[in-house]
């Protein structure tokens, strides 16, 4: 199903906050924000994974469909995603990491995209070092300037596309999820002061 809405304002005019969808925006004053712009029923488990990566110290944003329906019912494509709290929070951060879901296609490698190529590559290397497969995203590269992950102060962010199988495995296995989150966090957090 194609996306029903091309902007948040269209969606908000037809759907009910805290009944059909909810917004979670936690500004923790960090230089990075972890995003799940297609959380809840849109791309299941992405909010939970984003929240686990953010922990208690990295800013978090999640847009979540609260009722099940076709994928396009609440999905606003990333380069059109203009929910005001997301735009504001992302715009205050130096970089962003967006967690997305994709269908089970081929291997369960994490598809890496976004304009922050150095950070993207560091996340990929860290994930591979932790035993996960990771490869450049040729289909959904996330390079648009208006992609929500790239609307940061630096104009760059990272987009992670996780297969349905991998998302299910992560939320079902606390140790696997912790390993995944640590691999992402080590790439986005500044090194400790000496």
Could you please report the per-residue DSSP string of 51-117? HHHHTTTSEEEEEEE-S---GGGT---GGG---HHHHHHHHHSSEEEEEEEE---SS-PEEEESS-H
Of 71 and 153, more confident: 153
- The arithmetic mean of pLDDT across residues 148-163, rounded, is 98
Residue 150, pLDDT > 80, answer yes
Would you list the domain boundaries of the chain? 8-188
pLDDT in tens, 94-115: 999 999 999 998 788 999 999 9
- Predicted local confidence at residue 193, as pLDDT: 56
Give percent of the chain with pLDDT exceeding 70.
97
Residue pair 109/162 in contact by the 8 Å Cβ criterion: no
**172 pLDDT above the threshold of 90:** yes
Task: Single out the residue of 101, 95, 92 nearest to residue 37, CA to CA.
Answer: 101
pTM for the model: 0.95
pLDDT at 21 over 80: yes
If one compares 2 and 161, the residue with the highest pLDDT of the two is 161
Q: Given a cut of 90, is residue 10 above it in pLDDT? A: yes
At the topology level of CATH, where does 8-188 sit? Aminopeptidase (3.40.630)
Instruction: Check residues 70 and 50 and name the one with the higher pLDDT.
Output: 50
d(CA 163, CA 180): 14
pLDDT score of 139 more than 70: yes
Please give the Cα distance from 63 to 40 (Å, whole number): 7
Cβ burial 110-146 (10 Å sphere, 16+ → b, else e): bbbbbbbeebbebbbebbeebebebeebeeebbeeee
């Amino acid at each position: 199903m194609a996306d029903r809405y091309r902007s948040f304002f269209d969606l908000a005019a037809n759907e009910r906050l805290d009944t059909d969808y909810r917004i979670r925006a936690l500004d923790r004053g960090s230089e990075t924000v972890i995003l799940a712009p297609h959380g809840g029923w849109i791309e299941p488990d992405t909010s939970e994974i984003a929240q686990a990566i953010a922990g208690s110290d990295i800013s978090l944003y999640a847009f979540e469909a609260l009722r099940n329906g076709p994928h396009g019912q609440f999905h606003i494509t990333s380069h059109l995603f203009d929910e005001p709290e997301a735009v504001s929070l992302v715009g205050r951060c130096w970089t962003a990491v967006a967690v997305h879901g994709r269908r089970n296609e081929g291997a369960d490698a994490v598809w890496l995209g976004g304009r922050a190529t150095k950070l993207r590559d560091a996340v990929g290397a860290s994930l591979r070092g932790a035993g996960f497969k990771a490869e450049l995203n040729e289909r959904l590269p996330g390079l648009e300037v208006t992609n929500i992950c790239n609307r940061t102060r630096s104009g760059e962010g990272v987009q992670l596309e996780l297969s349905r199988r991998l998302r299910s495995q992560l939320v079902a296995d606390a140790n696997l999820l912790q390993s995944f989150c640590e691999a992402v966090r080590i790439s986005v957090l500044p090194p400790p002061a000496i």
